Homo-oligomer: A and B are copies of this chain.
């Protein structure tokens, strides 16, 4: 992905910073969610791998620089600026939460410290990368929680916001605890288990349902899932018992899943197919999963699509990327906003996690003041060099499970809004107060 995939104003500012002689100023920006969406007690950080790939490859192609040169906004930019863009690489630092870490409002998900042009330029891409995967991961853990141990597979590529979003939704959902995805590209790119067998059109393309089931069984063997509701669900179930093993089980994709799963289970059991499982799909979300689980519906696994891949009940995350420090000539100036509506805290930060609360402190504070707290934000790039080897998706998923498991249990509630205590360190409060006293109300 090119450096050109950014808001134009990042580039006009780049030209402005260049022209104003600010290329050596080093800015620190903090990426965080301003508030949690309704129905979320925490977020699950995700998107770091794609951010790292982006920063590693950050550059402008010649024709992209030519395009910018052709725009009226750059008519006064000096010729050296375009040469500068051609040579631009990411030379700064990135600090971030490991993917899979639970995170709360106003806690940094990532921190960028770089020459101001670079730090500013990457804003748009980093925001959408972190926001989208974090949003989907945060929805996915709700589905997984609701399923109470039954596997949940992400099935939403067709309704994701673009084919690229489908791949990333599969990744984010898996990281947060889904068992896999239907997206084959996500499977290959990230080593994620992939699932899927056949659609109704498969059944319809054969002369009879029996022919279609038989052909599927021939191909898939023990992995066969008979989709039984193309014509008549109960007849479909009987037909499946007639074909018998090998098969994994059946899929239900319509109607009253509680009632149908019970009836189908009885049919399977009566035929002695006790090991055959029932997989359910049909516009599911965490609330429907919870309902099915409460009703003790004999469903063994779920596919959740549209609602998960779009985070449909909370399809936006109020992520912001705010200037918190600016270094000129080795003097660090702290920056913050003090408006009631959108206030921010100054300075590069660290998060210390304790069993029942977090403390957000300045990164420059002494770690030993926070003994017993787990230090969450880690260096990823230093001086443009990757200093951390990123875990693969299965490792991220395992880490996420343990990190989420360590949270107070109340946070897992689907309905109740449970606040989690995030304290601000005394030194950070002091810094914010002294800035506020000096500047008065500042917006950013």
- Which A residues contact B (CB, under 8 angstroms)? 1-2, 4-13, 15-17, 19-20, 22, 25, 27, 29, 54, 64, 67-68, 71-73, 75-77, 116, 120, 123-125, 127-129, 131-132, 135, 155, 157-169, 182-185, 187-188, 194-202, 204-206, 215-216, 218-221, 223, 229-232, 254, 306-307, 310-312, 315-317, 319, 321-323, 326, 335, 337, 339, 341-342, 440-444
Known: A12-B198, A205-B17. A163 touches B306 (CB 8 A): no
Chain B residue numbers with a CB within 8 Å of A120 are 199, 201
**Nearest 4 pairs of A and B residues by beta carbon:** A9-B196, A161-B161, A164-B164, A315-B315
B8 touches A196 (CB 8 A): yes
A1: nearest chain-B partner, CB-CB: B163
B16 touches A216 (CB 8 A): yes
The smallest beta-carbon distance between A171 and chain B, in angstroms, is: 11
A204 touches B444 (CB 8 A): yes
Known: A205-B22, A310-B315, A339-B254. A129 touches B163 (CB 8 A): yes
Chain B residue numbers with a CB within 8 Å of A135 are 161
Tell me the bound Cα distance from A95 to B306 in angstroms: 26
- Copy number in the complex reads 2
B5 touches A183 (CB 8 A): yes
Chain B residue numbers with a CB within 8 Å of A194 are 8, 71, 73
A8 touches B184 (CB 8 A): yes
Interface centre among A7, A159, A322 (most CB of B within 10 A): A7
Chain B residue numbers with a CB within 8 Å of A307 are 316
A128 touches B67 (CB 8 A): no
Chain B residue numbers with a CB within 8 Å of A218 are 19, 76
Chain B residue numbers with a CB within 8 Å of A75 are 221
Tell me the bound Cα distance from A7 to B180 in angstroms: 12
A29: nearest chain-B partner, CB-CB: B201
B128 touches A162 (CB 8 A): yes
10 more contacts with CB within 8 A, not counting A124-B158, A124-B166, A230-B444, are A4-B185, A7-B184, A10-B199, A19-B215, A67-B187, A116-B205, A128-B165, A159-B316, A160-B161, A229-B443
Chain B residue numbers with a CB within 8 Å of A315 are 161, 310-312, 315
Tell me the bound Cα distance from A180 to B137 in angstroms: 32
Interface centre among A223, A232, A316, A337 (most CB of B within 10 A): A316
The smallest beta-carbon distance between A111 and chain B, in angstroms, is: 14
The smallest beta-carbon distance between A113 and chain B, in angstroms, is: 14
The smallest beta-carbon distance between A255 and chain B, in angstroms, is: 8
Known: A443-B229, A444-B230. A220 touches B9 (CB 8 A): no
Partner of A76, one of B6, B19, B161, B219: B219
Chain B residue numbers with a CB within 8 Å of A16 are 198, 202, 215-216, 219
Tell me the bound Cα distance from A219 to B12 in angstroms: 8
Tell me the bound Cα distance from A15 to B221 in angstroms: 13
Tell me the bound Cα distance from A232 to B441 in angstroms: 8
Tell me the bound Cα distance from A19 to B212 in angstroms: 12
A128 touches B159 (CB 8 A): yes
Partner of A9, one of B29, B188, B197, B316: B197
Chain B residue numbers with a CB within 8 Å of A182 are 7-9
